[in-house]
């Protein structure tokens, strides 16, 4: 049996009800540990984690070692949405104890359990909950399936689904243009700081099409990914672009944040376009580094290098550059 066959079997198990059961056992244990330690009820530091975008507020919720969920609150009405409910007990606890508001909308970027397993429990807890994902996502029941570019309202805030398949066939991003401030993009596992998610269910053309849509968004858009993978993605980016000063700036920022036990998000699309190798596939000046002449060759080469050269880039040390800004 080939490695590809073994991988696809394991991937199939992960996406099955057995995978969901395993994920739920993991998060139940984590929540019980959190309650025992008191952390599950300690919201005294939450104020610092709210990011104010004038007409909406965003709260980052780190889950486990690398996952992120997010709260979105419409400032005009106080209505509350959650992005990627992987751990429902923790999210309900924050909604009740910090926001003191029920969750009225769940946005799901894709089907993987670490992003979606909490949907059922949220629906049971909040019977009027609306749920949104791409209409191409058929792994779970949602009340409001959206087509590419379609909007859903959270109070006076409009949230647009941008269909960006390749990590999974139903993968999407959610885009908000608040009043008077920069835009916001929740990218799930499509786009990370310095990299992209694995191409589990899509081909290179699909990846290029999804990347084009993201490149078309405003530079000052704040990007909130589904995972904290900067340790790996920035090493690969540095391996490819050893002399990219803008990348050195980002690495320095991440290292300083980590030293203070802070999350290394959000990033902006302007920053990502300058060093994220996957967002540079249409940048002909990047082709020289890859030895390619076309964006399809570029995406293929990036996939090949990130798989085959892992043992070369994984040992690169991320450190503060002496001239970093
Ligand atoms: Zn995923």
Please, what are the averages of pLDDT over each run of 10 residues along the chain (325 residues)?
74 79 76 58 51 94 86 98 94 93 98 94 97 92 96 98 97 96 97 97 97 98 95 96 96 92 92 98 95 96 96 95 81
CA of 167 to the centre of ligand 1 (A): 7
| Alpha carbon distance 259, 101 (integer Å) | 34
What's the confidence (pLDDT) of residue 39?
46
What's the confidence (pLDDT) of residue 16?
81
Q: Which of 65, 114, 3 is nearest to 232 (CA)?
A: 65
CA of 114 to the centre of ligand 1 (A): 7
CA of 113 to the centre of ligand 1 (A): 8
What's the confidence (pLDDT) of residue 133?
98
What's the confidence (pLDDT) of residue 176?
98
What's the confidence (pLDDT) of residue 221?
98
Domains of the chain with CATH codes = 3-313 (3.60.15.10)
What's the confidence (pLDDT) of residue 82?
98
b/e map 232-258, b = 16+ CB within 10 Å? bbbbbbbbbbeebebbbbbbbbbbeee
Q: How many CA atoms lie within 13 A of 272 on its CB side?
A: 30
b/e map 114-124, b = 16+ CB within 10 Å? bbbbbbebbbe
DSSP secondary structure of 226-278: SB--HHHHHHHHHHH-TT-HHHHHHHHHHHHHHHTT-----EEHHHHHHH-GG
| Alpha carbon distance 20, 15 (integer Å) | 7
What's the confidence (pLDDT) of residue 41?
40
What's the confidence (pLDDT) of residue 36?
60
Cβ distance 121 to 89 under 8 Å?
Answer: yes
User: In sequence order, what are the beta bridge partners of 161?
Assistant: 174
CA of 165 to the centre of ligand 1 (A): 11
What's the confidence (pLDDT) of residue 40?
44
CA of 188 to the centre of ligand 1 (A): 7
CA of 285 to the centre of ligand 1 (A): 31
């Amino acid at each position: 049996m080939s490695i590809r066959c073994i991988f696809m079997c394991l991937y199939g198990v992960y996406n099955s009800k057995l995978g969901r059961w395993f994920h739920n056992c993991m998060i139940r244990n984590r929540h019980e540990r959190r309650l025992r330690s008191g952390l599950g009820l300690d919201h005294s530091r939450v104020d610092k984690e709210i990011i104010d975008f004038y007409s909406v507020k965003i709260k980052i919720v780190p889950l486990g070692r690398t996952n992120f969920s997010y709260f979105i609150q419409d400032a005009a009405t106080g209505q509350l949405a959650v992005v990627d409910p992987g751990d429902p007990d923790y999210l309900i606890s924050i909604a009740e104890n910090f926001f003191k508001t029920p969750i009225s909308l769940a946005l799901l970027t894709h089907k993987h359990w670490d992003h979606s397993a909490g949907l059922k429990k949220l629906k049971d807890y909040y019977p009027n909950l609306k749920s949104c994902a791409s209409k191409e996502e058929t792994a779970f029941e949602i009340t409001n399936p959206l087509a590419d570019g379609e909007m859903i309202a959270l109070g006076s805030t409009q949230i647009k689904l941008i269909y960006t398949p390749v990590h999974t066939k139903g993968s999407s991003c959610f885009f908000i243009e608040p009043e008077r401030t920069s835009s916001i993009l929740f990218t799930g596992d499509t786009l990370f700081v310095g990299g992209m998610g694995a191409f589990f269910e899509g081909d290179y053309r699909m990846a290029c099409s999804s990347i084009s849509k993201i490149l078309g968004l405003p530079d000052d858009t704040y990007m909130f990914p589904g995972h904290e993978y900067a340790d790996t993605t920035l090493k690969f980016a540095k391996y490819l672009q050893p002399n990219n000063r803008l990348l050195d700036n980002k690495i320095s920022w991440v290292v300083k944040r980590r030293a203070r036990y802070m999350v290394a998000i959000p990033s902006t699309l302007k920053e990502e376009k300058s060093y994220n190798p996957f967002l540079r596939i249409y940048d002909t000046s990047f082709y020289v580094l890859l030895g390619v002449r076309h964006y399809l060759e570029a995406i293929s080469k990036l996939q090949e290098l990130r798989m085959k050269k892992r043992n070369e880039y994984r040992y690169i040390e991320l450190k503060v550059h002496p001239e970093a800004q």
